[in-house]
Chain A
């Protein structure tokens, strides 16, 4: 085995290790005092990017619905192509870094200062087709509501026009 293959294998192992041992957002948030100041690994979908000079905040949402802010160099954030929202699946990112329960540098926020930042999957656009039966129902109901408004108004006006029969 030549040294290039060995190097590649070691590199792959190094990349795979954090993937296998990533902590869940729930675990980090609920046991935050135990992880405070320690190096942790976290994986999630990008749901927000805010570049602040040479650094950036990248909010990652894990598959259980827990989001954590990652403080990383701006160039890491600039490499992100998709931010998750209604129309997009965001890039999937794996980070390893120092976990802070109440970061002294960032006003007490719970965060991770990334030392290793890898985009493991690129996001994509999401197609949101219209549900045709629901759309038809919506249009039909609105038509009924409008017709009803005018019809009932007309009946009321006609009723008001009819003078009561004089009684003696």
Chain B
């Protein structure tokens, strides 16, 4: 029987949540540097208010809920799920105060979309947005999805106890790079910063070459590098990457999107000299297969229906969006309404599947993840083999992911559980969207984009969309980022508290 909730449980969760408040408070101070550079001093108070509130609440939690008791698994999962709600709630304050959105709900939507690395936007007047608020949107994607809120807090606070390991896992990050979580989190940050610098340099060169003034090239380069690596998809312009009309810019984006969609462990292994790992790793093989299949089907379909005819157009529209969907980035070079009105149904369907399947586990991508898809494929193959062989035969299986791992029933069940959860949430989200009067095709596309933390839009997501749909997508983005299970545990926690009350 599941034990009832106690006040101590709530105290443990509340006390450990303080780090999420503190780290969000620090995040909200960073855009002040951008405000100073661009002399946008009128925006500074917005960040001060958001940051101060984060520190005040964090202090209160730290003082009144102080406990020496260690977190258990249930505490860690609930704490992580709540942290991913609280951080956007605080980050939405400057966005709302700056009038970057039409309402506080929209500001919350924008912040959740940022932190979860989704990229769906309801911001109004992105082209007139202050540099500091625009930077904040991109920065949220980098720290939220590119690295992870708790990964950063662990690396700064240097905590090594069991609770840190649990929190780390709750944020869908693997602890396996190095034995210590602190060391691992610092490696993840190191990898992210390395690619951020490389991406910024490449985007800046591309921008200057394509006619941007150097200041804009650096600012846009930094922001797109943050959202490209984080597979986030926010852009500094309302036209997204179409603004640049540049194949060079799109090629740099493709490189960053693919790097972001690869496993941190793989980056670490390759950077450590294990280059053959790229060829042997199950996730890389499955990701390449899906990218190739999605790109080919979408391009062939677009060619066949005469939407685009030249090879360059098929790459810049077909292949580009296949990569953007598969890596769950959401960079877009066509108008949202073109997905709904011009693109053929097969392409929309294939992109929807790609968005739900997603990139690699322990990467910046969302979705079910390639490792799980690979494991499920292997288990299907094993089952078929088992049925073909005599009953006395023992059928085993394994897969290579950094090291050779046996394909046990536990591994397969874990992968299947997450995949089924995604399919259930996708179906519910699609039904809710369709119930608002949108076509089934568009509903599938937008729901998979929200749940897979992608950001490609066929035009449903806008400031004018119904509030109920905004809340639905906010929930899907949050659930998708936490790989659903953490959300279910939090729901169980709340139901338990409501049914049995909270004991002393």
Contact = CB atoms under 8 A, between A and B. Distances in A.
Contacts of A57: 211, 245
Contacts of A49: 211
Name the prevailing secondary structure of the B interface residues. helix
A50 B335 contact: no
Given A131-B45, A134-B45, A156-B63, A110 B52 contact: no
Interface stretch (A8-16, A91-99, A141-149): A141-149
Contact of B45 (A52, A137, A146): A137
Interface stretch (B112-120, B265-273, B286-294, B309-317): B309-317
Interface residues of A, number: 49
Interface string B468-491: 000000000000000000000000
Interface string B98-131: 0000000000000000000000000011011111
Contacts of A84: 127-128
Q: How large is the interface on B (under 10, 10 to 19, 20 to 34, 35 or more residues)?
A: 35 or more
Nearest to A52: B211
A146 B29 CA distance: 14
A19 interface: no
Nearest to B333: A109
A50 B47 CA distance: 32
A149 to B, nearest CB: 6
Given A102-B313, A138-B46, A142-B48, A29 B239 contact: no
A141 B59 contact: no
B177 interface: no
A29 B335 contact: yes
Contacts of B307: 102
Interface of A: 29-30, 32-33, 47-52, 56-57, 59, 61, 65, 67, 69, 84-87, 101-102, 104, 106-111, 128-131, 134-135, 137-139, 141-142, 144-146, 148-149, 152, 155-156
Interface of B: 25, 38, 40-42, 44-49, 51-53, 55-56, 59, 62-63, 66, 97, 124-125, 127-131, 210-212, 237-239, 242-247, 307-310, 312-317, 333-335, 337-338, 341-342
29 contacts: A32-B338, A47-B237, A49-B211, A59-B239, A59-B243, A61-B127, A65-B238, A84-B127, A84-B128, A85-B127, A85-B128, A86-B38, A101-B342, A107-B317, A108-B308, A108-B314, A110-B335, A111-B245, A134-B49, A135-B44, A137-B49, A138-B45, A141-B53, A141-B56, A148-B55, A152-B59, A152-B62, A152-B63, A155-B63
Given A86-B129, A102-B307, A138-B48, 6 more contacts: A50-B244, A106-B245, A108-B308, A128-B40, A134-B97, A135-B45
